[in-house]
Amino acid sequence: MPIYRHLLGPMDNNTYLIVDEVTGEAALVDPSFDSEQLLPEIEQLGYSLRYILNTHAHLDHVVGNAFFAAWTGAPIALHKDDLGLLHAVPEQAKAFQVEVEPSPEPEILLEDGQELPLGELSIKVLHTPGHAPGHVTFLVEDAALVGDCLFQGSIGRVDLPGGSAEQLMASLHNRLLTLPDETRVLPGHGEPTTIGAEKRHNPFLRSSGHVEHER
């Protein structure tokens, strides 16, 4: 099961493509700025986009929703607690002095524990709030696509609207750190890591400090 990582846009976002090689079904996770360049590759390889998955609705993780929904017809999937952020995408864009097309409404409202079939694969949803109220993690086989709640050597920021340090630490310790140590961690920014490596080396998981977080 390949998961392709694409580093895109001015905020150095990771946009992921999960592919079931048996059926050619694919899921696009967090289409960021400049992600439209991935469409020719997806079409050339013969993949069928079944889902547009959002870990959360901050601008840089959903800005490509409208493009891919229009061109592929794939449904957008987002947790209901982030609908407010999704509706505020134009206002988020103004803060960066850019104009973007508003995201279509999600056709799939994600819930904790939900499983999304992708060919012969299954993508499990974990609600991991803290960085955003409706932040989720997608689990597929040995990988966790964690959005902006966990990074290599750091954790997500909590000073944005809807952020909560208490919720984030609960999500990290009660949800993510209970995964097997060998679980691959695929973050929204930065390099991949593993659960075991972050348990051993991430200073934010060994203390209560919340300074110098990532995006």
Model confidence pLDDT, tens digit, residues 48-78: 999 999 999 999 999 999 999 999 999 999 9
For residue 212, being part of any structural domain is answered with no
What CATH number is associated with residue 36? 3.60.15.10
Tally of structural domains, the chain: 1
The pLDDT value given to residue 206: 77
Tell me which residue has tokens 């609908």. Answer: 83
Task: Please check whether residue 210 lies inside any domain of the structure.
Answer: no
Residue 68 — φ and ψ, nearest 5°? Answer: -70, -35
AA letter at 134: G
Q: What is the 3-state secondary structure (H, E, C) of 32-72?
A: CCCHHHHHHHHHHCCCEEEEEECCCCCHHHHCCHHHHHHHH
Q: Is residue 1 very low, low, confident or very high in pLDDT (cuts 50, 70, 90)?
A: confident
What rounded mean pLDDT belongs to the chain?
A: 94
Instruction: Specify if 213 maps to a domain.
Output: no
Does 215 reside within a domain? no
Range of the domain at 52: 3-205
CB 153 within 8 A of CB 203: yes
Residue 110 has pLDDT above 90, yes or no: yes
